[in-house]
Amino acid sequence: MGSSTSAPHRFAFQNAEHAFKAAALIQRWYRRYMARLEMRRRCTWSIFQSIEYAGQQDQVKLHDFFSYLVDHFTPRNHNERDFLNRMFTEERFAQDSEMEKSSDFESIEVPDSYTGPRLSFPLLPDQATALVEAFRLKQQLHARYVLNLLYETRKHLAQLPNINRVSTCYSEEITVCGDLHGQLDDLIFIFYKNGLPSPERAYVFNGDFVDRGKESVEILMVLFAFMLVYPKEFHLNRGNHEDHMVNLRYGFTKEVLHKYKTHGKKILRTLQDVFCWLPLATLVDEKVLVLHGGISDRTDLEFLAKLDRHKIVSTLRCKMRKESTKQEEEKKTANQPSSAQEPTPWFLPQSRSLPSTPFHLRPDKAHRAGRSCSIPCPGALDRQELSRHARRSVDLELERCRQQAGFPGIKESEEPSPLASGPDPESGELLEPTQEEWRQVVDILWSDPMAQEGCKANTVRGGGCYFGPDVTQQLLERYSLQLLIRSHECKPEGYEFCHNRKVLTIFSASNYYEVGSNRGAYVKLGPSLTPHIVQYQANKGTHLLTMRQRISRVEESALRALRKKLFAHSSDLLDEFKKHDADKTGIISLSDWAAAVESVLHLGLPWRMLRPQLVNSSTDNMLEYKTWLESLAKEQLSRENIQSSLLEKLYRNRSNLETIFRIIDSDHSGFISLDEFRQTWKLFSSHMNIDISDDCICDLARSIDFNKDGQIDINEFLEAFRLVEQSCSEGRDSACPQSTDTSDGGPSSPDPH
Amino acid sequence: AIVADFHKKIKDAFEVFDHESNNTVDVREIGTIIRSLGCCPTEGELHDLIAEVEEEEPTGFIRYEKFLPVMTKVLLERKYRPIPEDVLLRAFEVLDTAKHGFLTKEELIKYMTEEGEPFSQEEMEEMLSAAIDPESNSINYKEYITMMVIDEN
């Protein structure tokens, strides 16, 4: 450098150099800080996602279990038969004739005192707009109008094809929205920002309108109303949550029953039907395919266009009709060898790891081994195809199950009746889809894209596939398409392109996991079909927070949820910790802690990264595990007397329990009999390997029946263990009715119906 | 034993971004991973590191097998150490030529986007949102540093 420069110049130069260096240092430091924030955000996201998907897996497992029982269990007497039938009453035959009767709602009187919106049919545009405004003001639509609207909706939907076609010739722009999940604020915001639906402004809503959020009913009312008003411009696709089975678990059923105490059941029954009439996909200008989940390497749009979508009531469980022998043979010669060997259900002890157990619990790496096709429903087991060995083990397992449940045993030579008796009666065949039909629909409602090439079973969700860019390419080429728009997955920015920008995920429920967790987005398509994305976040408060604060809030929430899960597995964790503590010092290394926690919870989370937030009582990288578990418990429980392992087990299975109860309570009365509770619990616990003695269960059941009338109020039961309250304090679940009604802890008054 | 510990740490951090569970991460996430492991490289140093772990024909993905040994070495050699608080403070003081104890918003923007390894617009906006006191439109850097350090711990 210039030694010949004068002093002031040199000074200035040095200053400049110093400034450069100083700035660089600050930037370096700042970037590291942001990277650590980003890491925290990712971990938080993983927590929420893994808990969400583990819950979905659980539910799939649960339904498989019941499906299997219903299909293979031979009731010994009419009580048993009734009990099992009630678990999965489809009530289809009754519904179809019921649907013709408009007297369903006409007989319902609307009191003069009702100040909410009133609807008259045929619906006019300003009525639909008025509906939005009424809901914004937190009014509730009367059951009569709800049912009337649903009746008209069903009539309309039944005329629509499976794959709707929209053109940008007629409407100048088409707006596609993703999952809303009961978040009415987001829908209102979209209409506010993008404009209400009109002949010039077409909309496609891509499924998952309900569950989780608290205003699923209102969203449906608005969407259906606009669809009736603008049938050519307003389109809906079915999502995996438009499914009464899924609704049992994820809050929609609860919401309806709470908001409509008298007519809720009728509404739910009607909705069950409406959902299966929802179209499966929308095609824009024959070039852009819009569907909820994704595709598989077997997706056949022509096949999908022709099937009777109404037959697929739930994608979770399928009563399948046997394909005729001729069809089976055709399949065998035409298709891969894999169809020759059906997998055995996951819960049989003889089941091996993948590919025979598609619904294995672990989401982690080793079990995402390849399968070239989507997961068939285990309920579709064709008995003739089971090897003798497998069949025998099935029978043995069933026998064990029955004995544990207290049912009298069957002789081993006896064949279970349902499938062994000849072909299904005529009506049965017409009402049930084939396995291929079911699988095609499951694929488009449940699949997720992945970066790798290929197509493999979606073990994380328990249904559908992971499809790679080559699968996308193949489909787009085959049908001359240029873009696939799908939803189904929450994205931090509300949208995400993948597969070389050939697949667009659009997700419209902002703040899905927690306030500040993600933005929502919608996409607009003009005649050029170039996607134009608009993002938003429906909570002004979060805009004012810095990224750091936003991440902290969401992180707090995720960690709370995670600590709850850890607590629920306290006994198992203790056992696992002890294994690492051979010398019985009461202390293990943090490394062992991480390994132990993962082996118990199977969430596939980066425990070492999360450790500082979960364990704050360690010294020298060692942990006194008993103390840690106790501190977890203290956080979760306020009363010291609730420390039994029974509570823990029940707590861990809370969602499953709730779902089971709702399934048993098929008439949605809010009550199940003590006996049903006992029987169900036995069956459930024997297969979930939960070890609770019969006496314990009987005592428990009796103690819950406060008024000793031989019936258990579901919500009473859950409340007795403070579980409903827990979910209310999270603020995430849908409306928790009874906890607000029963302020002084007595049994809530039974529903008049 | 130390190496084994490093390996576990690296694996965990890597896995957070390994979305497909196939032991690869997008190259654009490598910076985040390296920094969350306690290192504080400059952008230049980061690019050099990436060059070391990339494939001969860059695929846009970094494989774990290549990343692990390089990252282990970085941790063992204690390279790219984080910046102590007092050094950071002095850096701000250098920029504060008038020795006010604060920088105006304009000054901060100028330095951060024109000097050193300039911020992107997004980075600048994010820093401003947390650092600038809206009433005085300036950053009291001593307070800022203290707040950030507390927040980290």
Contact indicator for A26, A321 with CB cutoff of 8 Å: no
Cross-chain Cβ contact A25/B43 below 8 Å = no
pLDDT, average across residues B129-150? 85
Residue of A nearest to B35 (CA): A32
Between CA A330 and CA A339 the distance in angstroms is 11
Q: How many CB atoms lie within 10 A of CB A160?
A: 16
With an 8 Å Cβ cutoff, the interface of chain A facing chain B consists of: 15, 18-36, 38-39, 42-43, 46, 364-365, 368, 450-452, 546-548, 591, 594, 606-609
* pLDDT at A648 (0 to 100): 58
Question: Do A446 and A461 form a contact (C-beta atoms < 8 A)?
Answer: yes
Q: Which residues of A touch B40 (CB under 8 A)?
A: 28-29, 32
B20/A26 touch (CB, cutoff 8 Å), yes or no:
no
Return the higher-pLDDT residue of A477 and B99: A477
3-state secondary structure of A386: coil
B137–chain A Cβ distance below 8 A for any pair: no
Q: For strand A495-498 and strand A465-467, is the pairing parallel, antiparallel, or unpaired?
A: unpaired
Amino acid at A377: C
Residue A528 carries which DSSP code? T
Q: Does the beta carbon of B88 lie under 8 angstroms from any beta carbon of chain A? A: yes
Please give the ipTM for the structure prediction: 0.94
E-strand stretches of A566-673: 587-589, 622-624, 671-673
pLDDT digit string, tens, across residues A187-208 = 999 998 999 999 889 999 999 9
A691 Cβ contact partners less than 8 Å away, ≥ 6 residues apart:
A685
Interchain proximity A608–B8, CB inside 8 Å: yes
Which residues, 6 or more positions from A547, have their beta carbon under 8 angstroms from its beta carbon? A37, B126, B129, B130
B111 → closest Cβ in A19, A29, A33: A19
Pull the structure tokens for residue B23: 């032991």
DSSP track, A122-139:
S--HHHHHHHHHHHHTT-
CA dihedral A27, A28, A30, A35 (to 10 degrees): 130
How far apart (Å, rounded) are the C-alpha atoms in residues A23 and A94? 75
pLDDT at position A694: 64
Q: Please give the Cα distance from A160 to A167 (Å, whole number).
A: 16
Task: In whole angstroms, give the CA distance from residue A407 to residue A434.
Answer: 32
Closest CA to A555 of A49, A40, A35, A50: A40
Taking CB atoms and an 8 Å limit, are A35 and B35 in contact across chains? yes
B36 and A35 within 8 Å at the Cβ level: the answer is yes
Predicted confidence at residue A325, as pLDDT, reads 35
Chain A closest-CA separation from residue B9 CA (Å): 7
Catalytically annotated residues of A:
241
Put simply, the chain B residues between 12 and 71 with a CB less than 8 A from any chain A CB are 12-13, 15-17, 19-22, 31-36, 39-43
DSSP letter string over A418-478? HHHSSSPPHHHHHHS--HHHHHHHHHHHH-EE-SSSSEEE-TTTTSSEEE-HHHHHHHHHH
Per DSSP, A322 falls in state P
By the CB < 8 Å criterion, does B82 face chain A?
Answer: yes
Are the beta carbons of B35 and A23 separated by less than 8 Å? no
Q: How many other C-beta atoms are found inside a 10 Å radius of the C-beta of residue B110?
A: 15
pLDDT of residue A691: 58
For B9-43, b where at least 16 C-beta lie within 10 A, e where not — what string?
Answer: bbbbbbbbbbeebebbbebebbbbbbbbbbbbbbe
pLDDT in tens, A91-133: 433 444 444 455 577 788 888 888 899 999 899 999 999 999 9
What is residue A495's predicted lDDT score, i.e. its pLDDT? 95
Q: Which pTM does this prediction carry? A: 0.65
How far apart, in Å, are the Cα atoms of A550 and each of A37, A556, A564, A637, A748? 10, 10, 22, 28, 39
- Give the Cα separation of A4 and A463 in Å (integer): 76
- C-alpha distances (whole Å) from A323 to each of A2, A382, A421 are 90, 9, 15
For chain A, residues with pLDDT lower than 70 are: 1-13, 55-103, 317-431, 538-548, 550, 636-658, 660, 663-664, 666-667, 679-709, 713-753
- Give A12's contacts (C-beta < 8 A, 6+ positions apart): none
Total Cβ atoms within 10 A of residue A726: 17
| Element counts in chain A: helices (H) and strands (E) | 31, 18
CB atoms < 10 A from the CB of A707, how many? 11
What are the counts of helices (DSSP H) followed by strands (DSSP E) for chain B?
A: 8, 4
Check CB contact under 8 Å for B19 and A451: yes
Closest residue in B to A43 (Cα–Cα): B16
Report the relative pairing of strands A455-457 and A465-467 from DSSP bridges.
Answer: antiparallel
What are residue A671's phi and psi, to 5 degrees? -130, 145
Q: Helix, strand, or coil here: A484?
A: strand
**Residues A161, A308 contacting (CB under 8 angstroms):** no
What lies within 8 Å, CB to CB, of A428 at 6+ separation is A321
User: Is residue A529 within 8 Å of A482, Cβ to Cβ?
Assistant: yes
Nearest residue of chain A to residue B11 (CA atoms) = A606
* Residue of A33, A489, A500, A607 to mutate for B, most B C-beta atoms under 10 A: A33
- DSSP H helices in A73-91: 78-87
Strands A531-536 and A587-589: unpaired
Q: Which of A462, A429, A433 is nearest to A445 (CA)?
A: A462
Interface A–B counts its CB contacts (< 8 A) at: 123
8 A C-beta contact, residue A665 and residue A677: no
- What count of residues does chain A have? 753
Residues 6+ apart with CB under 8 A from A136: A184, A188
B119, A452: Cβ pair inside 8 Å? no
The count of residues in chain B is: 153
